[in-house]
Amino acid sequence: MSDLGPVEQIPVGEGRTFAVDGTQIAVFRLRDGSLRAIDAVCPHKGGPLADGLADDTVVVCPLHGATFDMCSGTEAAGELAVRSYQVTAVDGAIRLTL
């Protein structure tokens, strides 16, 4: 388990990228306050997924519009996937399990 710092460093409705054990992980703070975490790099063209538009269930790659489910990591088109991670807020801190 990794402690990534305070939840407040991620504005509501946005994502941020963190380096954890050599892996780039995008953590999103959803509008309801919950957190989601997936691989930070799109497998198509290397787009920064933390910069993509996110709603309660999906994030859209800012480079070419691929849509990934933030719970499962699967792409809407079903071609490729990213890994999803378990992430929670504990006492105001982001905790990620690889």
Q: Count the neighbouring beta carbons within 10 Å of the beta carbon of residue 78.
A: 7
Q: Determine how β-strand 84-90 pairs with β-strand 53-54.
A: unpaired
Structural domains of the chain ordered from first start: 2-97 (2.102.10.10)
Cα distance between residue 25 and residue 91, in whole Å: 21
More confident residue, 13 or 79: 13
pLDDT category, 79, cuts 50, 70, 90? Answer: confident
**Rounded distance, CA 9 to CA 41, Å?**
20
pLDDT digits (tens, 9 = 90+) for 27-61: 999 999 899 999 999 998 899 999 999 998 999 99
CA distance 67 to 60: 4
Give the C-alpha separation, 14 to 28, whole Å: 6
Full-model pTM = 0.94
Residue 51 φ then ψ, to 5°: -90, -5
pLDDT of residue 78: 84
């402690």: which residue's tokens?
Answer: 3
pLDDT of residue 21: 93
Q: State how far the Cα of 56 lies from the Cα of 85, in Å rounded to an integer.
A: 16
